Structure 1
């Protein structure tokens, strides 16, 4: 293992030397017990410590970092990956905040966007409410006809019409509940954005705040349909 460490250190030193001034380097380091060592080649006693590489005139050419074991190298690479991921996440957060401010320079602009997003959900809910009202009107003559069969089985056609009416009403009620959930989701999203925007408008640095987080998802769209008459 010691031979492998020294060999790796020599290879590393060669790479460093290629970037330095021509001529032989002077390696110097301080051991864990305080001894200062100097050599014309990488110092085996200092494989785990930083070594300064000097030119022949005593000026510093470069620094040779500690030679890491495979376990140490793996740990360092993992730490480097985490740091890189954090940098990318921070850059993304800055871009998102800047984009948010550009999209909504004022609270009025943000409110207009909220109203537009809510408009479709409100329209869909009103359509379903009107449809339920129409279905109620369609059901009245069916119920009047069913009075003639009180205490007796309904004709198959009449029963099918009543069942279809019930199914249509139920489907519209599901759609209304979905749109109510969508309105809650939209308002939750815009409330969170507005709170963040107020801080950004007040001078908070982009990317300096925690992320908005995952917002509630839209309710699934009902696909139920009434049976054919």
Structure 2
């Protein structure tokens, strides 16, 4: 029994030695304190928690670097700064892509002018349609007004009054559309003017993404219908 215990103890000791040899060796931490002292340890050095620490191998070669330890507030500020820097990089990349796409779409001023003319033509067509519709409505109103003359000083029949009100509402709606198209023409021209000013700089050699953001005018929301039109 004694010999068996000795054999087990020897075997266990050998396994422990092998396990210790197989385990990776600890790094050597070294740093310089704020007052100039050079410290070395087999674990992170408390005196240098606010400073960078070099982690060395046993042969003195550098394995890695241990950054300064941060307080929760410092860590939060650092992460916020990193997020902002990443957002700024993405915004810069987007600006470069947009400028390159703009130059690719409009390689010269003639191409840009053709696009402007096409956009203006659409708005002008819509405005002419409204103007023609108003003329038609006025022609439709003429016999209604002639009939209303017979009731001067008297209440109009319900049907006739309803037709006149509907005609008024339709004319008013078309007039609103015309005003909207006029505003749209102004917006289109302003947007193309801003684009052209930017393009001229890019055509002249300004690097994409280095100009201020291009803020094109937004389309005005459609006005709410009048009470007459809603009826």
Quickly name the TM-score band, shorter chain normalised. Answer: 0.7 to 0.9
Q: Determine if contact 1:25/1:53 at 8 Å carries over to the other structure.
A: yes
1:17-44 superposed Cα distances (whole Å, 9 cap, x missing partner): xxxxx75543221112222212233211
1:109-148 maps to which residues of 2 (within 5 A)?
109-148=111-150
CA–CA distance in 2 between the matches of 1:193 and 1:124?
24
Would the alpha carbon gap of residues 41 and 26 (structure 1) be closer, same or farther in structure 2, given more than 3 Å must change?
Answer: same
Corresponding residue for residue 91 of structure 1: 93
Pick the structure with greater CA Rg: 2
Q: Determine if contact 1:52/1:63 at 8 Å carries over to the other structure.
A: yes
Corresponding residue for residue 17 of structure 1: none
Residue in structure 1 matching 2:103, options 101, 104, 107: 101
TM-superposed deviation, 1:227:
8.7
TM-superposed deviation, 1:53:
2.5
- Structure 1: where are the runs of 5+ without partners? 1-21
State yes or no: 1:206 paired with 2:208: yes
Corresponding residue for residue 192 of structure 1: 194
CA–CA distance in 1 between the matches of 2:107 and 2:36?
61
TM-superposed deviation, 1:75:
1.5
Corresponding residue for residue 36 of structure 1: 38
TM-superposed deviation, 1:222:
7.1
CA–CA distance in 2 between the matches of 1:177 and 1:28?
76
Corresponding residue for residue 216 of structure 1: 218
- SS of the residue corresponding to residue 168 of structure 2 reads helix
- SS of the residue corresponding to residue 42 of structure 1 reads coil
Q: Which moved more, 1:157-166 or 1:55-64?
A: 55-64
CA–CA distance in 1 between the matches of 2:27 and 2:156?
105
RMSD of aligned alpha carbons: 2.3
Residue in structure 2 matching 1:179, options 158, 165, 181: 181
Corresponding residue for residue 166 of structure 1: 168
- SS of the residue corresponding to residue 97 of structure 1 reads helix
- SS of the residue corresponding to residue 36 of structure 2 reads coil
- SS of the residue corresponding to residue 205 of structure 1 reads coil
Count of aligned positions: 207
CA–CA distance in 2 between the matches of 1:180 and 1:146?
34
| TM-score normalised according to structure 2 size | 0.80
TM-superposed deviation, 1:95:
0.6
- SS of the residue corresponding to residue 63 of structure 1 reads strand
Q: Determine if contact 1:165/1:226 at 8 Å carries over to the other structure.
A: no
Would the alpha carbon gap of residues 98 and 227 (structure 1) be closer, same or farther in structure 2, given more than 3 Å must change?
Answer: closer
